[in-house]
Chain A
């Protein structure tokens, strides 16, 4: 698929990718390589100029965009929590929109908050401003999971966190991803994060797909753009990533 701005600038071109259930596809590339555009094409915040995005075998344009998005969890860098709502209200967003009954919502809230390590009893009534950056991002993940969507889109969710919190969330998220078996598309510009979380890594440069590799192949890849990224890893990082 291809996406052009009305001005004629092409942000993404000739992209052809597939994500399967239970897999984490990492979109890796520098700023401006078209990662976020690609993600927004999936949940139809943007629409492809050419080609199509198939979701469960059906073109995204054939879906009602609102219903489509409720079936796709979405986590962004600044979490984007509603500051005027409590944690509980934020997380319950999609179940409420979907009209779940109160008991089912409560049960689901308990589950997802436990999944992200923030007990509902302790954190549910807090405001997003009363949380640390890491906690806010956990709530962002809980909110994306609340409606139990089969697909999860994550746009540099851990990008704004300090290194320690970041590593912690990466570890937990990897375990969570393996357990939940969802189709995950994860954006990052951090090679280490890509190697750690991805089952496959799609490398983008200037709106084009350069290559798709497994983490192991990625380190041995021959494409010059990929090599430049791998070279930015120090030897320690390389070993750590290969583990």
Chain B
């Protein structure tokens, strides 16, 4: 348990790194949702366009994370060393699950319910906000959950481009050939992922039961 002693001794930095980690992931998820939700909604009835967008999002998913961080560094304006580049890369990874689940969720809404909604005189906006999105919410949240857990893992690598986070301990530990330091980053990161999974899982169940 010597990693735990290390953790206690360096608790100030551990807290700072954990907060950095949470910030990276939250900012990335925020961007992924702000872009992914409206685009996902727009793609529901545009099958041809969807193939292209999903294809592009799929390609992003296949790029190894360290490589994606590397690719983004030389990009002007948005690139460079630091947290912004890392947030952008994480958001790109989170985009596919958010997009896909938004589409799948809305498509899964019962056709009879939609026909009734339109037939009773709801406007397209009312159908979207009052019927489609609430009914798609459990599926949508499942996408957010997956994306968040993946982001927490990938964000550890962001330390390699100077974005901070719990990855700092891992890279430092590797450089020092010191297991304790590696674990001081790895274990809180894993805990964070488990907590996020449980928390979002609970939210998802609550929404689904309503």
Contact surface of A with B, Cβ cutoff 8 Å: 43, 45, 66-72, 74, 76-84, 93-94, 97, 140, 143-144, 153
Alpha-carbon separation in the docked complex, A143 to B113 (Å): 13
Say yes or no: A69 contacts B135, CB within 8 Å: no
Contact surface of B with A, Cβ cutoff 8 Å: 110, 112-123, 126, 131, 134-135, 210
Interfacial chain B residues near A71, Cβ < 8 Å: 121
Residue from A70, A84, A153 having most chain B Cβ neighbours under 10 A = A84
Say yes or no: A143 contacts B120, CB within 8 Å: yes
Say yes or no: A97 contacts B113, CB within 8 Å: no
Contact of A68 among B113, B121, B134 (CB under 8 A): B121
A-B contact count (CB 8 A): 63
Contact of B119 among A45, A67, A83, A97 (CB under 8 A): A45
Alpha-carbon separation in the docked complex, A76 to B114 (Å): 11
Say yes or no: B119 contacts A43, CB within 8 Å: yes
Interfacial chain B residues near A80, Cβ < 8 Å: 110, 112-117, 119
Interfacial chain A residues near B119, Cβ < 8 Å: 43, 45, 69, 72, 74, 76, 80, 153
**How many Å from the CB of A190 to the closest CB on chain B?**
20
Say yes or no: A84 contacts B115, CB within 8 Å: no
Alpha-carbon separation in the docked complex, A118 to B45 (Å): 38
**How many Å from the CB of A53 to the closest CB on chain B?**
15
Interfacial chain A residues near B120, Cβ < 8 Å: 69-70, 74, 93-94, 97, 143-144
Alpha-carbon separation in the docked complex, A77 to B119 (Å): 13
Say yes or no: B112 contacts A82, CB within 8 Å: no
